[in-house]
Amino acid sequence: MSIEENIRKIKNSIPEEVTLIAVSKTKPVEDLTAAYNQGIRDFGENKVQEFLDKYDKLPKDIKWHLIGHLQRNKVKYIVGKVHLIHSLDSIRLLEELEKHYKAGEMMAQALIQINIGKEESKTGIYQEDIEEFLEACERCNNVKIKGLMTIIPQGDEESCRNYFKETKAIFEQLKLRKFNNIHMDILSMGMTGDYEIAIQEGSNMVRVGEGIFGKRNYNNK
Ligand SMILES: *Cc1c(COP(=O)(O)O)cnc(C)c1O
């Protein structure tokens, strides 16, 4: 199926209040343009250099989402260019964002990445470390926390559903509390293989790559 057909199909199958992010990592600018022409304005990239190349070549009304682990030495390149950072995964990164956004007199918007499956291969905050992390967020002035993001462990439908439920429960608990700088509005969970389950379990932002653009070929990079 074409990019256009994939987008039409996904948009028809998800509620209007769920934001669809087209994850365009490794894909050429022409593919992003095809998605743009189909009405997509939210694009997800995971590498800063690739994001910057595409940022320069594509229309300025695109909202760019950084979804991959962000190295602290790359923060200075993204200030003012990224709409939402999904992968805030350490206090040191938080402090680096605060420093550079303050210097640029800008506001960063970020999601706290939760490592819900406690996988060592993934970054993200463990559930038991969230309180300490929130305290650090409250001390910031130039980083606004908009919600949570998670990448769940691979597994069958029941396993996916349980990890989504656990993340949603954390999200709802935090939503009840009052914080400085922190508003639990966005719950970013669900990818090509599981976004429908994620939405059923309360996601309001899904990150779909292969389901829109087709298989990624890393060897071509
Ligand atoms: C690549 C990626 C996606 C998209 O994955 P697909 O399976 O292609 O939909 C979503 N989220 C993150 C963090 C990713 O790195």
Q: What is the pLDDT of residues 169-179, one digit of tens each?
A: 999 999 999 99
Average pLDDT value over all residues in the chain: 97
Q: What is the pLDDT of residues 126-166, one digit of tens each?
A: 999 999 999 999 999 999 999 999 999 999 999 999 999 99
Nearest to 43 by CA among 16, 68, 25, 69: 25
Residues 43/24, Cβ–Cβ less than 8 Å: yes
Q: In angstroms, rounded to a whole number, what is the distance separating the alpha carbons of residues 207 and 63?
A: 13
Please identify, by atom number, the ligand 1 atom nearest to the C-alpha of residue 86.
13
CA gap 162, 155 in Å, rounded: 10
Note whether 143 and 180 are within 8 A (CB). no
43 CA from centroid of ligand 1 (Å):
11
Mutational test site, ligand 1, from 3, 23, 149, max ligand atoms within 8 Å of CB? 23
**Atom 11 of ligand 1, nearest CA residue:** 207
d(CA 64, CA 121): 25
In the chain, the amino acid numbered 79 is V
Is the entire prediction scored with pTM above 0.75?
yes
Substitution site in 207, 210, 213, 218 for ligand 1 pocket (most atoms within 8 Å of beta carbon): 207
Task: Please name the helix (run of DSSP H) or strand (run of DSSP E) that holds residue 145, with its range, or none.
Answer: strand 143-150
> Which residue type, as a one-letter code, is found at position 162?
N
For residue 208, how far is its CA from the centre of ligand 1 (angstroms)?
6
Query: What domains are there in the chain, each with its CATH number?
Result: 3-212 (3.20.20.10)
Work out the average pLDDT over 186-194. Answer: 98
Taking only the tens place, the pLDDT of each residue in 117-127 is 999 999 999 99
What's the CA gap between 166 and 162, in Å, rounded?
6
> Measured between alpha carbons, how far is residue 159 from residues 25, 126, 202, 205 in Å?
27, 18, 16, 20
